[in-house]
Structure 1
Amino acid sequence: MDIGTLSVIIVLSILILLAIGVPLVFSAGIVGVVLGYYMFGAPGLNLMMQRMYGFSIEYLLLSVPLFLFMAALVEKSGIAREIYDAIEAWLGGFRGGVLIVTAVMGTVMAAMSGIIGGEIVLLGLVALPQMLRLGYDKRLAVGTTCAAGSLGTMLPPSIVLIIYGLVAGTSISKLFIAAIIPGLILASCYILYITVSCHLRPELAPDNTQHRLSFRDKIRASKGLVAPVILITVILGSIYGGVTSITEAATMGVLGILLIMALRRELKWVKLKGALEQTFLSLGVIVWVSFGATMLTGIYNLAGGPSYIALSIVDLGVSPIVTIMVMLLLFLVLGMFIDWIGILLLAMPVLVPVVTQLGYDPIWFGILFCLTMQTSYLSPPFGPAAFYLKSVAPPDITIVEIFRSFLPFIMIQLVVLGLVLYFPQLALVLT
């Protein structure tokens, strides 16, 4: 059977298995096992086991559970509440100030942990009730909460960037550096949209100018920013300064948050147990999907899949930039139905070599991928951000209302995606 026919059969098989309710890990794994045995017999199964083992002992992969654990600890502690109060002391007195505070807090939390679901839940518990109580527009409050909470996709130490770096064979440190400017542009666009909307339509947000604090009170409240500033400096400073590897920096971050919790008398067994359970659940999803995707892509690569895909794209006769746009459109569509880890592990081993052959930097392509996954977190029908928020939102906020509130933020994300697509130096200038 030629590789073209085999590729079609693989795609159709996975779609059929997903359609009948088989989880992605088993869909990819089943197709991988059948393909491996068909192509290479019993030795093909041995090759898959070797790939799974090689992936699981990758040293940089250790940073993933460490960052997950750190994010869970931050969520269980009172640090997030103090961060919110400190930022609100400085920005809460402006019209739309609490919305801006939520966007800034989402940015700070993303830079601390690089995790998404926990941040949305945290903001949904801390920020959303405050905005609704003060009379902020419900749709704008919900959209800001989820958009800000999903910034962990972009801003380092993003788990998405770490896994992409492992799969694509690129420098994770350079990916972190490349993500800084696009991530901050995205966060700034959220804040700009909120500010302009609240000034053009005052009914969206109450006038809080009478609640502005004195400079002394602002300084007093700023103590809540000490812990996150220390953590961000320790983690990112050690990575960018070349002092430690990603894994060592993640270890320092976990030790740092444990020390802070101990000093605050929050280091209780119940919180540690809850953080560990949350970490293992999240890690289990990543590891299992990684195993299934690694089995399939490993055999497909041996069968000549990447070369076939590359030649097929070249034969289309379109310009390289159009090819990249088609890939991004594919990611956006897949992101409506499949989690980022599945898309990354199934697509990147095939597409990254094509991107390189087209003359583009895989670091830049990784940032584009993260931006598309940022959009997928808000995209119906299965945008995870909506369901994370629904789990903690007041009962009167429906899932349909949540998805409707995402539209302006999805448009902002697509605009930033277009900027980085046509101005690659936005991502590459610091690298």
Structure 2
Amino acid sequence: MFDLQSLGIEYGTVLMLVMLLVLLITGMPLAFVTLLVAFIFAIGWFGPTSVPLITSRIYTFVSSFVFVSVPMFVMMASILDRSGIARDLFDAMRLIGGRIRGGVAVQTIFVAVILAAMSGIIGGEIVLLGLLALPQMLRLGYDRRLAIGVVCAGGSLGTMIPPSIVLIIYGLTANVSIGDLFTAAFVPGFLLAALYVGYVLVRAWLDPQAAPALKPEDIPSGEKARLLKGLVAPMAIVFMVLGSIYGGIASVTEASAVGVLGVILSTMIRGEFSLSMLKGAAIQTLETCGMIVWIGVGASALVGVFNLMGGVNFVSELITGVSDNPTVVILVMMLILFVLGMFLDWVGIALLTMPIFVPIVIQMGYSPVWFGVVFSLSMQVSYLTPPFGPAVFYLKSVAPSDISLGEIFRSMVPFILLQILALALLIAFPAIAIH
């Protein structure tokens, strides 16, 4: 058998990267690619006796108690997808956004924030907004790119606003308190949403044709009461989940179970609950969580082997050797995350890079909680950028047929710039992420 150890850590790292890229190009799923490369290097570098070390690392990842919260939040989102709660929430927001120029776009962003605070899932949120908000904005004569950008960017806020699953996976990987991460992400998440709202209002003011003003409508008191009822269930669920976490009543895992119970009770009260809906939500949850677990297994194995090889220290020295200025090192990390985000899923990026990046961040004197928020915001950018851009493909699946992928990607440009602005503010003023 060829002794990979004879290559040395430098060429071993290069060979590992080449193998990962070649296998990914073949279309093999990331989880299987990382697991295969991990086994090849474990056996080729250390011999067959190293395999039990891989299995023990995998067990450590999947046995984390906090990981239970992931399927709970996915389950919440799956049930919300199948209920009319989001539709009623969108209708209720007419009371807020109906009287200002660009009001429907602002209303869409508000709904996106509330949906993000309910479940922390991104894909379903973009699909919901694509079905509810996009047709309405197009019908009212909104600029197509503005409408598309609002739906995609607003729907991606789930990466930042608690209870974000991105933050949960980061907390598991970096061994950081998820409660602290949620607290730290609160202000940056709403700052990003505020930047989106500000852009919409300025754009509507500079170019009235981009966001036509609606005719003032007098909504009868009875209709207002009906619309306000649409806010009750979402706000109650947000209060149950985030209130129990911030109030110290429940852990993140316990709060996720409370959230599932709240969503199920809401659908029962609304008369929408059925066993077929529950079964469909459960199957979707299993599919999503199965993907996350498999990526976690493969990435944990690969990072474990790379660490034993001395690769983590090697890469750390490479990154810190770029500059003596800590800000420059952080910017290099962001560049690496942006490049990886064009090709890989955020779960894989977190599990592959954070074991290397977080110790460097701590060594430079930065808070790992702050860096978790920075990481989540950088993943926001990856959700909109080509060629991977998951948000774009989610919207394309429900958008009118005359809207092409190219048009959706072009519509993302102003919102990507706003995300980069928010990221720059967070790096320049770390106190924004208070915890």
Task: Tell me if TM exceeds 0.5.
Answer: yes
Partner SS, residue 318 of structure 1: coil
Equivalences for 1:381-420 in 2 at 5 Å? Answer: 381-420=387-426
Could you tell me whether the CA contact under 8 Å between 1:368 and 1:421 is conserved in 2? yes
> In the aligned structure 2, how far is the partner of 1:371 from the partner of 1:42?
40
> In the aligned structure 2, how far is the partner of 1:215 from the partner of 1:380?
47
Q: Cα deviations across residues 148-181 of structure 1 (Å, max 9, x unaligned)?
A: 0000000000000000000000010000001001
Which deviates further from its counterpart, 310-319 or 357-366? 310-319
Partner SS, residue 93 of structure 2: helix
Q: Cα deviations across residues 269-317 of structure 1 (Å, max 9, x unaligned)?
A: 2211221121111111111111110110011112222222222333334
Question: Is 1:120 the equivalent of 2:126?
Answer: yes
Q: Which AA in structure 2 matches 1:196? A: V
Could you tell me whether the CA contact under 8 Å between 2:323 and 2:329 is conserved in 1? no
> In the aligned structure 1, how far is the partner of 2:217 from the partner of 2:146?
21
Query: TM-score when scaled to structure 1?
Result: 0.97
Q: Which AA in structure 2 matches 1:295? A: A
The residue aligned with 2:107 is: 101
Equivalences for 1:331-410 in 2 at 5 Å? Answer: 331-410=337-416
The residue aligned with 1:240 is: 246
Q: Cα deviations across residues 117-158 of structure 1 (Å, max 9, x unaligned)?
A: 000000001111111111111111111001000000000000
Question: Is 1:181 the equivalent of 2:187?
Answer: yes
Could you tell me whether the CA contact under 8 Å between 1:238 and 1:244 is conserved in 2? yes
Equivalences for 1:239-278 in 2 at 5 Å? Answer: 239-278=245-284
The residue aligned with 2:95 is: 89
> In the aligned structure 1, how far is the partner of 2:193 from the partner of 2:143?
20
Which deviates further from its counterpart, 117-126 or 305-314? 305-314
Gaps of 5+ in 2: 1-5
Q: Which AA in structure 2 matches 1:89? A: L
Equivalences for 1:189-338 in 2 at 5 Å? Answer: 189-211=195-217, 213=219, 217-338=223-344
Structure 1 residue 239: deviation in Å? 0.8
Distance 1:277 1:387, change over 3 A: same
> In the aligned structure 1, how far is the partner of 2:37 from the partner of 2:53?
15
Could you tell me whether the CA contact under 8 Å between 1:128 and 1:141 is conserved in 2? yes
> In the aligned structure 1, how far is the partner of 2:221 from the partner of 2:168?
40
Could you tell me whether the CA contact under 8 Å between 1:95 and 1:209 is conserved in 2? no
Gaps of 5+ in 1: none
Q: Which AA in structure 1 matches 2:319? A: I
Which deviates further from its counterpart, 67-76 or 295-304? 295-304
> In the aligned structure 1, how far is the partner of 2:136 from the partner of 2:53?
54
Match of 1:48 among 49, 54, 69: 54
Partner SS, residue 207 of structure 1: coil
Could you tell me whether the CA contact under 8 Å between 2:159 and 2:380 is conserved in 1? yes
Q: Cα deviations across residues 174-207 of structure 1 (Å, max 9, x unaligned)?
A: 0000100100000000001001111111101222
Could you tell me whether the CA contact under 8 Å between 1:93 and 1:213 is conserved in 2? no
Could you tell me whether the CA contact under 8 Å between 1:306 and 1:354 is conserved in 2? no
> In the aligned structure 2, how far is the partner of 1:313 from the partner of 1:138?
42
Which deviates further from its counterpart, 233-242 or 205-214? 205-214
Distance 1:425 1:216, change over 3 A: farther
Structure 1 residue 217: deviation in Å? 4.6
Partner SS, residue 268 of structure 2: helix
Q: Which AA in structure 2 matches 1:132? A: L
The residue aligned with 1:166 is: 172
> In the aligned structure 2, how far is the partner of 1:100 from the partner of 1:316?
42
> In the aligned structure 1, how far is the partner of 2:246 from the partner of 2:272?
30
Could you tell me whether the CA contact under 8 Å between 1:331 and 1:343 is conserved in 2? yes
CA RMSD of aligned residues (A): 1.3
| Count of matched residue pairs | 429
> In the aligned structure 2, how far is the partner of 1:264 from the partner of 1:399?
37
Percent of paired sites with the same residue: 50
